[in-house]
Amino acid sequence: MFESKNMVYILTVLEAIEKIAIYCKRFEDEESFYHAEKQLYFNATVNLLIAIGEENKKIDEKLKTSIAINWKNLSAMRDKISHDYRGVDESIVWNVVQEYLPKLKIALIEMIPKIENHNTFLDEALKSPHYEDLEYLREFICK
């Protein structure tokens, strides 16, 4: 079992993934996503990708190695966005949102049962409005 502090990082990433999904669902392609509302949705998504990359760095390395995801790419993405904002390509962001985040979501959900006291922690966290978009986790975890 892994320490419960990992749950905070995992839930933060899952919440960011859900918010990104909400921001992107109305768009059919990267162009409309990038230009909508003077780049409002794009900028919000980029900031959440930074948060995902940062929280990824805090998850226990041994826990991450138990799941087949390229975790180093997440950190590299965060560093690239944070240090070279003008170089952020909307096509890459769109691809990450469409192709990578759904896989990451599944991987994170698979991690939850590996964390000590996960049911108790998850039950408490889901009472918070901050994690309202993660209510689906009750069905999969808290049985």
Give the tens place of pLDDT for each residue, 49-78. Answer: 999 999 999 999 999 988 888 888 887 878
Q: What is the pTM of this model?
A: 0.92
Q: What is the amino acid identity at position 51?
A: A
Whether the CA torsion 9, 10, 13, 19 is positive or negative: it is negative
User: Whole-angstrom Cα distance, residue 5 to residue 115?
Assistant: 9
Instruction: Check residue 143 and report its DSSP letter.
Output: -
Q: Can you read off the two tokens belonging to residue 63? A: 């826990």
pLDDT band of 17, cuts 50, 70, 90: very high
Structural domain boundaries enclosing 61: 5-140
**Structural domain total, the chain:** 1
Give the Cβ contact number of residue 32 at 10 Å. Answer: 11
